[in-house]
Copies of this chain bind each other. A is one copy, B any other.
Amino acid sequence: MAFEGAVQDLIDELARLPGVGPKGAQRIAFHLLGVDGEQISELIDALRRVKDEVRFCVTCGNVSEEDVCRICRDPRRSDDVICVVEESKDVAAIERTREFRGRYHVLGGALDPVNGVGPEHLRITELMNRLSNPGVGEVIIATDPNLAGEATATYLIRMLSTLGITVTRLASGLPVGGDLEYADEVTLGRAFAGRRAVS
C-alpha cells in the first residue's frame, strides 16, 4: 500500500475498471486530487445518477431512463424489423450509421459456455415472446463477428427457423477504408463468398 487509506482505496477501485491499469488508476486519482473539488463532485453525481436512474428497457433490454427506452417509444420507427445485438453499445454503434429505423433487441451478452454463459443468461426468451406477437417480418442478427457472436447467431438461427420469419445477418467482408492485403484470410474469404454483381 503506497498511499494513505482513502487515496489507495480509490486507486484500487479505479484499477478494477476495464482498460485502467494500476498506473492509470494512480494517474486518475492524482488528477482528481489535483483539480478543484468540482470535477470529482460531477463524477460522483454522474455515477450516482447512472446507478439510481438507469435501468433496462422492459421491451428490448437497452439501457433506458424509463421503463421503455427512447427507441421502443419512438412511433416513427418500424415495428416490422428487429435487430438483435449483444450489448447496448452495439445499439449506439448501429444508430450512428443512420441506416436502421426498426427496433432492437439487446441480448445482454453472447453465448460463452467456457465462462458459464448459456442461453438462459441471455434475453432469448424475451425475444421469442416478442416474436410470438404477429407484426415482425424480419429479424436481423447483428452479434459480434467473433467466436462467441457466431455461436450465438447459430443458436438464434436454429431457434428462429421454426417461426416463419425472415432471418438475416449483417454482411461480412472488407472493412471500408481497409487494405485488402492486410485483411485476414477469413474476412477475405467471406468477401469473396459474398461478392455482388455490379453490372
| A contact set with B: CB distance below 8 Å | 2-7, 9-10, 12-14, 16-20, 24, 26-33, 37, 39-44, 46-51, 53-54, 63-65, 69-70, 87-89, 92, 95-96
Are B33 and A28 in contact (CB-based, < 8 A)? no
| Interfacial chain B residues near A44, Cβ < 8 Å | 44, 47-48, 51
| Interfacial chain B residues near A50, Cβ < 8 Å | 6-7, 9-10, 29, 32-33, 40
Q: Knowing that A3-B63, A10-B47, A10-B49 are A-B contacts, what are 6 other residue pairs whose CB atoms are under 8 Å apart, sorted by A's residue number? A: A2-B95, A3-B88, A3-B92, A7-B54, A18-B28, A47-B47
| Interfacial chain B residues near A63, Cβ < 8 Å | 3-4, 7, 33
| Interfacial chain B residues near A54, Cβ < 8 Å | 4, 6-7, 33
29 A-B contact pairs sorted by A residue (CB < 8 Å): A2-B96, A3-B63, A3-B88, A4-B54, A4-B65, A4-B70, A5-B53, A6-B49, A6-B50, A6-B53, A7-B50, A9-B49, A10-B50, A12-B46, A13-B39, A13-B43, A14-B43, A16-B39, A17-B43, A18-B31, A19-B28, A29-B50, A30-B87, A30-B88, A30-B89, A33-B54, A33-B63, A41-B51, A44-B48
Chain A interface, >50% SS class? helix
Are B46 and A13 in contact (CB-based, < 8 A)? yes
| Interfacial chain B residues near A9, Cβ < 8 Å | 46, 49-50
Are A20 and B10 in contact (CB-based, < 8 A)? no
Identify the 10 closest CB pairs spanning chains A and B, nearest first: A2-B92, A10-B46, A13-B46, A6-B49, A10-B50, A40-B51, A13-B43, A9-B46, A6-B53, A17-B28
